[in-house]
Structure 1
Amino acid sequence: MPSASRITPALLLALASSTTLADDLMTRNTLTGDWGGLRHQLDEQGIKFTGDYSGETAYNADGGLHRSARYSQNLKLGVQFDLGKLYGLDNGGKVQLTVNDRRGNSASEDLVGNRLPIQENYGGLYTRLTELSYERTLFTPALNLKLGYMAMGNDLGGLDSGILCNFMNAGFCGHPLNMSGGSGWTNYPNAHLGVRVKYDLSPAWQLRVAAFNVDPESNGNSSRAWHLGPKHTTGTVVPVELVYKLSGALPGEYKLGYYYDSSDVKRIGSDKQVSGRDGHYLLVDQAVWTSSSSEGRSLHAFGQYSATSAAASPFSKWYGAGVVLYKPFEGRPRDTVALGYGRAVPNPRSRDVQQDAAAAAGVAYPNLDSAEQLIELSYGYQATPWLTLRPDVQYIIEPGAFSGDNIDNALVLGLQVKATF
């Protein structure tokens, strides 16, 4: 039998090794680390690998349709090729390749019956190509060009600061949903062929213009998951966005946008076609307070307004507002507390169609509010540099505003988990 003097050094060495590994796991920037130096070496040579996971669990505690829980997840893997580093080219540009996979079930569809997705990562439950693009500056450093197969929402329609993704509901996280609900606008992971141009008018002002193919049959269609070319083009959507970024002690970001979709679509409540759909939006992220005694602690206020085509969009207006507190506690420099309110307004034409259908069927139409409303409170706990845990509470008012169903207000408890590979 081995003596205690032989066991103790081996045991101590094993404990020291495991402790070192645990410490490294808690402090590294990504879950998989530097791959023994290979990842950094490839990055220096011009090949950068990225990956992340998000899982969202939502439990309907009161109201809605059913008491139960639903889980959805999103897995994204990408690689970027810096052609300047790889081939020694001057301003060679970058190629981005991204693959996405989504699985799970919807709390909104199964448990609550509301329009604004409770889990922002639900939808398109299959593996797909989400980006194959080429980007470079052109003629001058102030002009940036990007073209290929990509989602419009990657570059337009959202706040660059990322403040809105301190929430779990898709009504806040990302972009106003009536853009994609009432035109050919596409948000991640739906991608189409297009081109985007950014031009720096000054250090504070930037103009963004793009043009994307509109192909509604490819959205959420698993048979088109790896097809870059359109199948049934209906038109082109052209967004124009003016961006202003305020610097200083209280920084801010302001976006004013307009888009036009040339597609012909059916007018709501009529058999006639309407030519062209358009919309406009205003997005704001403004710091309103920073701590003089604790670096990094600040309070930001955000606002969203978006309006779409009255003739053809079932989702006519969106209003959103809220606040996010960064570094809520001295010992938690990367945590956040977020509180938001949103109001999604159905198109009155859609309500008239529902009322007429109910009358024709001899069914009483419920007395509903004019909009679905959302109140959301979340806490972003940065467990490690690569892992975020976000407990979340959502209160949904008038969940049946879009469906025309009389559904009780719902209280939803959630947890979002995000990990960077």
Structure 2
Amino acid sequence: MNRKVLVTILSLYSLFINAQSDSTKSWLELEAVYSALPWFNAHGGLETGFVYMDNADVTAKINFDQLLNLKDNFSLFVYGLGNHGDRATDLMGDFQVASNIEAVKAWRVFELWIQNNFLDDRLSVLVGLYDLNSEFDVLRPGTLFINSSFGIGAEYAQSGLNGPSIFPISSLGIRMATFIGDRTRVRLAILDAVSGDPENLKSNEIHLSRKEGALISGEVSIYTDASFSENNLNIERSYVTRRRKVGREHEVYKNDKVNIGGWYYTSEFEAINDQSSSHGNYGVYIGAQKYMPIGEKGDFASLFGRYGVASSRFNRFGSALSGGVVVSNPITTMDDNFGLAFSSGINGAEFQEIQGSSETTETVIEFTYSLPLASWFLLQPDVQYVINPSTQQELMNPLSFAMLVQISFKY
């Protein structure tokens, strides 16, 4: 064997062994999560009945800083997403989408990006296919719930020709993040405004054009609790999937914070009331989370609330309000979590004028209980009640019951 080739192989092997010996962070992180969600609409909506949905998340992350002994964090992330089953919305008739794994049947590459951190992890740049909702408009207590509006605000999720760059279709872009001082994190993302192909929901085609424009999203997070320290300053987009729940084996940061964010599409959109095209499709939001310790065993209760507005000229919901409470270990000592929350989407004046209904607000109330029976197995019974589904007077308020079952593998 050529001596240079042998030296190269031995060098790479040495790097591999050194990276593997790092007890705090591996050079390779793998995870697979299977989520099954049987759903029964017991009353109201479009019709009563049963549907089954499932979702597979397969992720891989290569930490080149560990593999190659680099000073700065540098990583590659790949996320494969598969969806199957029917839609709870077809039973309930709601607009906010009661199931956050509901999507068209398809397999796709959901995310594919590289990230490099600078200045001792205080500045981060990420480029590629990117799930905006993995970092923007996230309140940790809200991630416990199954309704989509607790993952991202209803007025934000409705925007764009094919939604913003969120589940289940992402778009190409760049995200920059930094800390200002010790308690203020700033994020800015510039993304292709059209995720995939609006005419083919199974496609995650990338097509950049001036006509389609860009989605510009910014957010400032202000951490207010005294326990926040420099240990929290590392800026690293977590590879944990968006639909993983509070109370699992991975760490959940219990930091009080306030989010202030906004978004703007550079392209023109058709107005709801007269179909004329113009610029000005934007929105702003504010959200907060508060953690309160209970006892001396690390248990907690958390509160969260959020309010956002969107241009009612181009969007159905002119505003949305949500909030809730989560209590850890209410029944067992197995990191179980109880949650109660609501989300209200309020029609804008233009849409309301066209619809002509006296109902202006759709409100969902969700009660959920997350019980991890093992580090790899989770059961989560869930109840949702929707008041004024899609603000249509002829629909009775639906009452649904579901059972989330999650099986995970992590390396």
Q: Same fold (TM over 0.5)?
A: yes
**Contact conserved, 2:73 with 2:118, CA < 8 A, in 1?**
no
Residue 249 of structure 2 is matched in structure 1 by none
User: How far 1:241 moved relative to its partner?
Assistant: 0.7
2:402 match: 414
How big is each residue's C-alpha offset from its partner over 1:308-354, in whole Å with a ceiling of 9 and x where there is no partner? 0121011211100111001113x424000000111111222122223
Deviations 1:59-104 (A, max 9, x none): 1111222221111111011111112233343326001011101111
1:327 paired residue among 329, 336, 349: 329
> Counterpart amino acid of 1:237?
L
Q: Does residue 236 of the first structure (1) align with residue 214 of the second (2)?
A: yes
Q: What is the rounded CA distance, in whole Å, between the counterparts of 2:210 and 2:299 in structure 1?
A: 50
Q: The residue matched to 1:409 in structure 2 has which SS?
A: strand
Is contact 1:58-1:415 (8 Å) kept?
Answer: yes
Larger radius of gyration: 1
Contact 2:334 2:371 in 1 (8 A): no
Are 2:64 and 1:87 aligned? no
Is 2:262 aligned against 1:258?
A: yes
C-alpha distance in 2, partners of 1:180/1:389? Answer: 27
Matched, 1:247 2:251: no
Secondary structure at 2:215 match in 1:
strand
Name the CA distance, whole Å, in 2 between partners of 1:264 and 1:132.
28
Counterpart for residue 178 of structure 2:
199
What does 1:353-372 align with in structure 2 at a 5 Å threshold? 353-355=354-356, 368-372=358-362
1:175 is aligned to 152
Counterpart residue number, 1:112: 92
Alpha-carbon distance between aligned partners in 1 of 2:70 and 2:255, rounded to the nearest angstrom: 36
Distance apart, 1:228 and its partner CA: 4.1
In 2, are the aligned partners of 1:326 and 1:337 still within 8 Å (CA)? yes
- Distance in 1, Cα, partners of 2:186 & 2:56: 32
C-alpha change, 1:297 and 1:139, in structure 2 (3 Å) is closer
Per-residue Cα deviation, 1:240-264 (whole angstroms, up to 9, x for no partner): 1110123347841210001111110
Query: 1:95 is aligned with what amino acid?
Result: L
Cα separation, 2, equivalents of 1:220 and 1:205: 40
In the other structure, the counterpart of 1:151 is: 131
Asked if residue 190 in structure 1 is aligned to residue 169 in structure 2, the reply is yes
**How far apart in 1 are the matches of 2:26 and 2:369?**
38
What amino acid does structure 1 have at the position aligned with 2:396?
Answer: D
SS of the equivalent of 2:165 reads coil
Question: How far did 1:291 drift?
Answer: 2.0
Greater share of helix: 1
Q: In structure 2, how many angstroms separate the alpha carbons of the residues matched to 1:95 and 1:200?
A: 22
* Alpha-carbon distance change, 106 to 42 in structure 1, aligned in 2, over 3 angstroms: farther
Any unmatched runs of 5+ in structure 2?
1-18, 228-253
Deviation per residue, 1:340-395 (Å, 9 max, x gap): 1111112221222233xxxxxxxxxxx54211111111111111112221111111
**Aligned counterparts, 1:277-356, within 5 A:** 277-287=281-291, 289-292=292-295, 294-329=296-331, 331-355=332-356
Count of matched residue pairs:
362
Shift of 1:175: 0.5
* Distance in 2 of aligned mates of 1:136 and 1:280: 28
SS at match of 1:63: strand
Change (3 A) 1:85 1:411: same
Partner-residue secondary structure (3-state), 1:141 = coil
Preserved contact between residue 318 and residue 348 of structure 2 (Cα < 8 Å): yes
Aligned to 1:393: 383
Q: Does 1:73 align with 2:54?
A: yes
SS for the counterpart of 1:352 is: helix
**Alpha carbons 1:42, 1:48 under 8 Å: kept:** no
CA distance in structure 2 between the aligned counterparts of 1:232 and 1:74, rounded to whole angstroms: 34
* Residue 389 to residue 231, structure 1, CA distance change in 2 (3 Å): farther
Q: Percent identity?
A: 20
Instruction: Provide closer, same or farther for how the CA distance between residues 209 and 387 of structure 1 changes in structure 2, counting only shifts above 3 A.
Output: same
Question: Which SS does the other structure have where 1:268 is aligned?
Answer: coil
Q: Normalising by the residue count of structure 2, what TM-score does the alignment of the two structures yield? A: 0.82
The superposition leaves residues 231-282 of structure 1 with CA deviations (integer Å, 9 ceiling, x where unpaired) of 7851111111110123347841210001111110101111311213110011
